[in-house]
Chain A
Amino acid sequence: MFLKKKHVAPKATYREVWSKGDIATKLSFFIMGSNALANKQWVKGLALLISEIVFIVWFIFSGISTLGILATLGPIKSKKVVYDAAQGVYITKQPSNSVLILLFGVLAIILCIAMIYLYIVNLRSTRHNYILKRDGEHIPTNVQELKSLLDTRLHATLMVIPLLGILFFTVLPTVFMISMAFTNYDRQHPIAFSWTGFQAFGNVLSGDLAGTFFPVLGWTLIWAVAATATTFFFGVLLAMLIESKGIKYKAFWRTVFVIIWAVPQFVSLLMMAQFLDYQGALNNILMNLHWISSPIHFIDNQASPLVARITVILVNMWIGIPVSMLVSTAIIQNLPEDQIEAAKIDGANAVQIFRSITFPQILFVMAPSLIQQFIGNINNFNVIFLLTGGAPMNSKYNGAGSTDLLVTWLYNLTFGQEQRYNASAVLGILIFIISAVVSLIAYRHTNAYKEG
C-alpha cells in the first residue's frame, strides 16, 4: 500500500491574490503585515508593520540624503573659505568625509535590500495565508507561528545571528573595499574623494604602477610555485628517508622536525633575519671558516635581487618542509606495502618505485592541499614581511622591493608613504581574481585527473 501523498494546495499567482484577496490582503501590498494582523498573527504582523514604519521614517529623514550624497561622495572636495551671507562672515568649510559617506552609503544600500527582502517575505506570507483561506484550511495562529520558529524552522532562527555577522563583518567591509577601487582615494585626496570609475585599475594595469605591478606579479607567481614545489618535494623526500628501513629512532627524527614547525612562525622568521644579517651569525661563521672574505648581503638593502630571492625560498623551505613531511609521512605509512613489493617483483629499483608508485600517489592525495598551499603562498605575507621586508629596494619599482609580493606591496601602498588606498583596493581585487582563477583551474584539473 502506498500512502496517499499529502494534499498540496495549488499555487496562486500574486495577480490572483491581488484581484481576489480581501481588503487586508490587498492592503498588504502597501502596508506590510496587514494580512497577518487580520489573521491574528500579531507578532509577525506587528514586526512587519513596525519595520516598514521605521524604514520609511529613516528613509525620509536620513536615507534619501545618505544615498544621494553617495553619488558624489560629498560636495566639498577641499578645504575652502566661503562667505556666509546670512551671518555676514567668512567661514571655513571642512572637506566632506568621504570614507564615512561611503560607509554609511553602503550601509543604507544594505538596509534597502533588507527591506526589499522583508517586503518579499510579507508578500509570500500573504499569499500563503490567502491560499489557506481559499482552500478552507487552518491558518496558523500567533502561537503556532512562534512555535514553528523554535521547531520546524529552527534552522532559520539559528541562522539569524551568523547571517547578521556575515553581513556586517564580511559583506559590508568587502563592498566598502571594492568600492574604494573605483575612487581616487589616495594621498592627494585623503579626506574627500570622488568616484573615478576604472581609473585606478588603469593606473595599476597600464599607468604609473604597471611597471611595478607586472614584475611583482611575476615574482609572486614564481615564488608561489617555487615555495609550494620545494617544500612539497623535499618534505616527501624527507618523509621517505625517515620512513625507510635503515633509519633508527624514527620518532626522534620526526619530533625534531615537528619542533621546528611548532616554533611560532614570526619568531623563527625574525631569528632567521638576524642569522642572515650582514653582521649576523652566518656571515661570521663563513668568515671564520675562511670560506668568504667579506660578508654577503643576503637579505638587506644592498643584496642582489637574485640572492635575496633564493634566500627567501630556502628559508621558506626550512619552515615549510616539516609540515609537508608530517602530512606525507601519514600518506606513506598508509601506502600498501604490497604495491611496493609488486613493483619490486617487476624489477623496479628504489628510484623507479619512488618515481612511478610512491610519488604519484602522494601527489594524488595531496593535490587539493597543494592548491591551497599555492594560494597561501601567493598571499604569504609573513615570510616576506618579517624576513626581508621586501628588501632589497628596487629603484624601478613604485613602493616595492625586489622580494615584495603583491600582498606586501599592497601593504606598502596602504601604510607606506604612498597611501594609495584605491590602488591597494585594486590590488586586492586582482589578487582575489588570480587566486580564484588558479584554484578553479587547478581543482578542475585534479578532478579530471581523478575521474580519468
Chain B
Amino acid sequence: MDIIKLKHITKQYDDGFVALKNINLTIESGKFYSLLGPSGSGKSTILRIIAGFSQPSSGQVFFDGKDITDLDAAKRHINTVFQNYALFPHLNVFENVAFGLKIKKQPMDKIKPAVKEALHMVRLDGYANREISELSGGQQQRVAIARAIVNEPKVLLLDESLSALDKRLRKDMQFELRAIQKKLGITFIFVTHDQEEALSMSDEIFVLNDGMIQQSGSPVAIYDEPVNDFVARFIGDSNILSGRMIKDYEVEFANNKFKCADGGIKPNEKVEVVIRPEDLDIVAPEKGNIVVTAQTQLFLGDHFEIKAVDANENEWLIHSTNGVKLGERVGLFFDPEDIHVMRLNESQEDFDARIEKYEGDENEN
C-alpha cells in the first residue's frame, strides 16, 4: 500500500539555488527505504519536505492519498530522527522521550508505560533517569529513536542518523535499526551518503544526484544494473569502459568483442560497460577473455584488491580471494551476464522501457 507519494516536487531556495528537480517517488507502507546520494545532492531537502519543515516550490506531497503539502509538521504522522540527535540536554532520558506526549497533554499513567515500552524497543531499559550527557553516542542515538517512536508515527525519517558513530557501533546500529523497523512494522526512510549502509539495510533505494533521482530499485537491481555511470561509480567500485554496441547481445570494448546479456540498443551506438571487480576471475592468460598485468595489490582482510592494466592501458580493478604476483601476466574471465551495458545519458524510465521491450521480444521468440 502506498503511504507517501511525491509528485513533481521541485525546490528552489531563497538564494535561487535549485536543490530538487522534478522528484517523483512512491513510498510503500512497512518498508525500509534509503535515500542515497553524495553530500549536497538534496537528500535532506527531500526529507524536510516530507517532514513538513520545508515547503516545495512546486509539486505535491501525498500521505495515504491525501494532499498534505501545506499540512503542519506536527499534524503529519511522521517523525524524524535528526543527525545530531537533537536531544534536549537539560532534560533526562525519560523527559526527552516523554516530551511529545507531555505536550499532547497525555496523562502521566499513559506516558510512563509508553516511554518504558519505547526505551525497551531500543534496548535502553533502566536508563530512564540518566542525563543525556552521561550517555555514549550510540545510546544517545537510541534515545533519539525512542523519542521518535513513542509518538507512534506511521513513517520514521532518519537523516544520516548513523554517520556520527564509529564504524563498529554503526554496524551494530544498522542491524538494530532494521530489527526495530521489522518489529514496529512502520515505514523507515533513511538518508545516507554511505552506499554500503544503504545496500545492506534497505528494501529499496533511491539514488540521488544533483537534485534528481538517478535510479530507484532494490539493492540488488541497483548494484547489478546501474542505469548510468554515476550510479555505477557511486554504488561500489567498478570497472567502467567505453565501448560500442555491435548488435543485440554483442558488445565491443577493450578492442575485443564479447557476448553480453543486454539488447534493445541501436547497433554501433556508443555505450559504457560496467563489470564489477568481484565478477572478474583470475585465470591463466590463455583462458581469459582479456589479458592484464597486475600492478598493485592490497590485502583487505577478506579479499585482495588488485589493480591491473591491459594492453590498451585500460585499468582493471579486481577483487580476488587469492593474490597474484605483481608484474605477472594473468587472464581475466567473465561471463556474458557479468557485463552490464549502459547507454549514455539514459534515464531510468527509458531504461525500464527498453528492458521491458527486449525482454518482451525475447519472450515472444
Contacts and interface: CB of A to CB of B under 8 A. Distances in A.
Of A336, A347, A364, most buried by chain B (CB within 10 Å of CB) is A347
Contacts of A360: 90
A347 B100 contact: yes
Of B82, B87, B134, B147, most buried by chain A (CB within 10 Å of CB) is B82
Nearest to A449: B90
Nearest to B74: A347
Contacts of B90: 360-361, 364
Nearest to B101: A346
Contacts of B141: none
B103 A342 contact: no
Contacts of B147: 342
A339 B86 contact: yes
A338 B82 contact: yes
A339 B53 CA distance: 13
Interface string B93-137: 000000110011000000000000000000000000001001000
Contacts of B89: 361, 364
Contacts of A345: 51, 73-74, 78-80, 100, 151
A418 interface: no
B175 interface: no
Interface string B43-60: 000000001010000000
A231 B103 CA distance: 29
A342 B86 contact: yes
Contacts of B104: 346-347
B88 interface: yes
B92 interface: yes
A346 B82 contact: no
Interface string B128-158: 0001001000000000000100010000000
A338 B90 CA distance: 15
Interface in A324-374: 336, 338-339, 341-348, 352, 356-357, 360-361, 364
A352 B99 CA distance: 11
A341 B86 contact: yes
B74 A344 contact: yes
A338 B86 contact: yes
Contacts of B151: 345-346
B340 to A, nearest CB: 40
A345 B79 CA distance: 7
Contacts of A343: 88, 99, 103
A124 B334 CA distance: 87
Determine chain B's interface SS by DSSP, over half rule.
Answer: mixed
B149 to A, nearest CB: 12
Nearest to B51: A345
A358 to B, nearest CB: 10
A357 B80 contact: no
Contacts of B134: 452
A204 to B, nearest CB: 42
A116 B48 CA distance: 74
A344 B73 contact: yes
Contacts of A364: 89-90
A341 B74 contact: no
B84 interface: yes
Contact of B53 (A341, A347, A348): A341
A346 B263 CA distance: 52
Contacts of A451: 131
Nearest to B82: A338
A360 B88 CA distance: 10
A336 B84 contact: yes
Contact of B74 (A346, A361, A452): A346
B45 to A, nearest CB: 14
B328 to A, nearest CB: 45
A402 B172 CA distance: 68
A346 B92 CA distance: 17
Nearest to A342: B86
Contact of A452 (B79, B87, B92): B92
A343 B101 CA distance: 11
A452 B91 CA distance: 10
Contacts of A357: 88
B100 A341 contact: no
Given A342-B80, A347-B74, A451-B131, 8 more contacts: A338-B82, A338-B84, A341-B73, A342-B147, A343-B103, A345-B74, A346-B104, A346-B151
Q: Which 9 A-B pairs have the closest CB atoms?
A: A346-B100, A338-B86, A347-B74, A338-B82, A452-B131, A342-B86, A339-B86, A360-B90, A348-B103
Interface of A: 336, 338-339, 341-348, 352, 356-357, 360-361, 364, 451-452
5 contacts: A336-B84, A339-B88, A342-B80, A346-B104, A361-B90
